[in-house]
Structure 1
Amino acid sequence: MHVMDLFRLNGKVAIVTGGGSGIGRAITEGLVEAGANVVIASRKFETLKKVSEELSNQETRVLPVKCDLEKMEEINNLVKTTLEEFNDIHILVNNSGMTWGMSSLEYSEEKWDQIMRINLKAAFFLSQKVANYWVKNNKKGKILNISSTAGMGGIPEEFMPVPAYSASKAGLITLTKDLAVKWAKYGINVNAILPGFFRTRMTEFTFKKGLEKFVYSGIPLRREGNPDEIKAAALLLVSQASDYITGAILPVDGGMLAMVMNISFT
């Protein structure tokens, strides 16, 4: 097989949660460019609809589905709708996430629980739902979890006062490895990407506070990532090119995690 054919997704069907903005939108765009039909899901239907109109073309379709991932019935409906519209699922990208900034000494139980429900619980139960479809129908599939470099260690509070976010992303890393081991026998690959510093709604805080120079000091490439760089990594891990890759945790971070000494605030 020609190497470029390993990356083609013609005829494939993907679900991307949080596919209407930021990293999720970039991944959606990459999957469409590779030939996949994509179902994008979040609570913000108007944003999804706009992306659908921008990315759909004669060969591929982007279907917006309103979905509150805190509700199991809406997770079930997302899978049901995808199967009704496309009659199959080949790829699941768990990208949806939220964060909330507050001092770790004062962090609220309400926000902690909400972040865990969206960032970790929903990723598991949506994966479970899709995996059950694959197992019952003797099909193989690819799951890609979007975690974060924040899940790999501590971060100074003045930069990221988000303990629940970091904990949820760390949980997603271990969940990725665990499901990769448990579901390998079914032909299901489970991998994760750890984005570093990308300009998204979640990172706007950094720019507003003028902290980007401190962030860049902890990135060997001395810059933020761009959408093309995240969608290329995602394509690798959801395409045939990664058939022998499972349980992998891929940093897309400009070398941030490779540094022994990281961000300095002195």
Structure 2
Amino acid sequence: MSASQKDFSLDGLFGVKGLDVVITGGGTGIGFYMAKGFAVNEAITHIVGRRQAKLEEAKAAILQLNSNAQVVIHTADISSRSEVTSLASSLSKVDVLINCAGVVFPDPPCTHLTPLPELQKALLSSPSETWSNTFQVNVESVFFLSVSLLHLLAVAPNGGRIINVSSIGSTMSDPNTHQPAYQSSKAAVNHLTRLLASKFREHGVRVNAISPGYFPSQMQDPNNPKSNLARSKELVPIHRGGEEEDAAGTAIWLASKAGSYVDGQVIPLSGGRDWGLGSQY
């Protein structure tokens, strides 16, 4: 193919074969769905998590889909600066970094209809540790791991790519939800994405975020009838929750040639749910 010709084949546009893709939180939930998508499509998929057993379980499940898949396990607590440094030191090639690991801690329930004394009491009972631990995992780890791998991402043959996983909670202000620390941390991820994009672009590294809605995960149990995922038919404009392919496909698009003109953006992946800035959906 000459230099003037373009490759519009699926492999040319969406191919990720041979890319080294590092996914934090890759053993469960959305991170695992993305790991399956990359590994089945012949990327060298590095899954990072705190629990070795969960990572082994995820690797075995991926190998059942494609026995030739290349899956590398890294046990690390990315909320620890020293473990982030060790993880970065153990890697020699990174084309794509997906910051998917995240935590949410329960807060006392309250809504806009809660009487003032009870509302104030509920909000003030949110422990300070909830805020510090949430931001440490959801925001600080994204920053420090991204910066720690910058030297590898900057020499990726077709440009490095960072994909941060945010949440529709970062932009929604539904008064019926009660996760102020989590939602604030994900709003911080959105802005951190834009900040890193502005600093990294001259080094050939693109930074974007995906803002998922309701997907099966440890945070959204489809068997719990009160979970937003179980109620997705009524809450989500397209009347369903997110599926594994939705998460994997969006990440592959951003990591591949097809998404190479996207930078500093937060991509909603919520079936339109993020439109609802109140409780109307």
Q: Quick check: TM above 0.5?
A: yes
Q: Does 2:82 correspond to 1:77?
A: no
TM superposition shift of 1:247: 0.9
Q: After superposition, where does 1:175-190 map in structure 2 within 5 Å?
A: 175-190=192-207
Deviations 1:50-107 (A, max 9, x none): 2122324564311111111121111122222232xxxx11000000000001123311
Q: Does 2:97 correspond to 1:92?
A: yes
**Residues 42 and 68 in structure 1, CA contact (< 8 A), matched pair in contact too:** yes
Secondary structure of the structure 1 residue equivalent to 2:47: strand
Task: Give the counterpart letter for 2:240 in structure 1.
Answer: R
Partner of 2:141: 122
Name the one with the larger helix percent. Answer: 1
Q: After superposition, where does 1:7-22 map in structure 2 within 5 Å?
A: 7-22=14-29
TM superposition shift of 1:134: 3.4
Q: Structure 1 residues 138 and 12 mapped into 2: Cα distance closer, same or farther (>3 Å)? A: closer
Partner of 2:117: none
**Residues 233 and 240 in structure 2, CA contact (< 8 A), matched pair in contact too:** yes
Number of equivalences:
257
Q: Structure 1 residues 156 and 34 mapped into 2: Cα distance closer, same or farther (>3 Å)? A: same
Q: Structure 1 residues 10 and 260 mapped into 2: Cα distance closer, same or farther (>3 Å)? A: same
1:132 to 146, 151, 154: 151
How many angstroms apart in 2 are the aligned matches of 1:63 and 1:75? 16
How many angstroms apart in 2 are the aligned matches of 1:210 and 1:94? 24
Secondary structure of the structure 2 residue equivalent to 1:198: coil
1:110 to 129, 151, 172: 129
TM superposition shift of 1:209: 3.1
How many angstroms apart in 2 are the aligned matches of 1:34 and 1:170? 31
Percent of matched pairs sharing the same residue: 27
How many angstroms apart in 1 are the aligned matches of 2:243 and 2:136? 28
Task: Give the counterpart letter for 1:63 in structure 2.
Answer: V
Q: Does 2:269 correspond to 1:245?
A: no
Deviates more, 1:182-191 or 1:207-216: 207-216
How many angstroms apart in 2 are the aligned matches of 1:161 and 1:89? 37
How many angstroms apart in 2 are the aligned matches of 1:108 and 1:32? 39
Q: After superposition, where does 1:1-266 map in structure 2 within 5 Å?
A: 1-4=7-10, 5-56=12-63, 57=66, 59-83=68-92, 88-103=93-108, 104-135=123-154, 137=155, 140-157=159-176, 160-204=177-221, 207-209=224-226, 215-259=232-276, 262-263=279-280
Task: Give the counterpart letter for 2:184 in structure 1.
Answer: A
Secondary structure of the structure 2 residue equivalent to 1:207: coil
Q: Structure 1 residues 58 and 225 mapped into 2: Cα distance closer, same or farther (>3 Å)? A: closer
How many angstroms apart in 2 are the aligned matches of 1:192 and 1:127? 13
How many angstroms apart in 2 are the aligned matches of 1:205 and 1:49? 24
How many angstroms apart in 2 are the aligned matches of 1:126 and 1:8? 25
Q: Structure 1 residues 263 and 207 mapped into 2: Cα distance closer, same or farther (>3 Å)? A: farther
How many angstroms apart in 2 are the aligned matches of 1:254 and 1:181? 28
**Residues 221 and 227 in structure 2, CA contact (< 8 A), matched pair in contact too:** no
Task: Give the counterpart letter for 1:35 in structure 2.
Answer: E
**Residues 174 and 277 in structure 2, CA contact (< 8 A), matched pair in contact too:** no
TM superposition shift of 1:213: 6.7
Secondary structure of the structure 2 residue equivalent to 1:64: strand
How many angstroms apart in 2 are the aligned matches of 1:67 and 1:106? 31
Deviations 1:179-209 (A, max 9, x none): 1122111110101111011121101299253
Partner of 2:113: none
How many angstroms apart in 1 are the aligned matches of 2:220 and 2:17? 33
**Residues 215 and 263 in structure 1, CA contact (< 8 A), matched pair in contact too:** no
Partner of 2:119: none
Task: Give the counterpart letter for 2:8 in structure 1.
Answer: H
TM superposition shift of 1:239: 1.2
**Residues 25 and 48 in structure 2, CA contact (< 8 A), matched pair in contact too:** yes
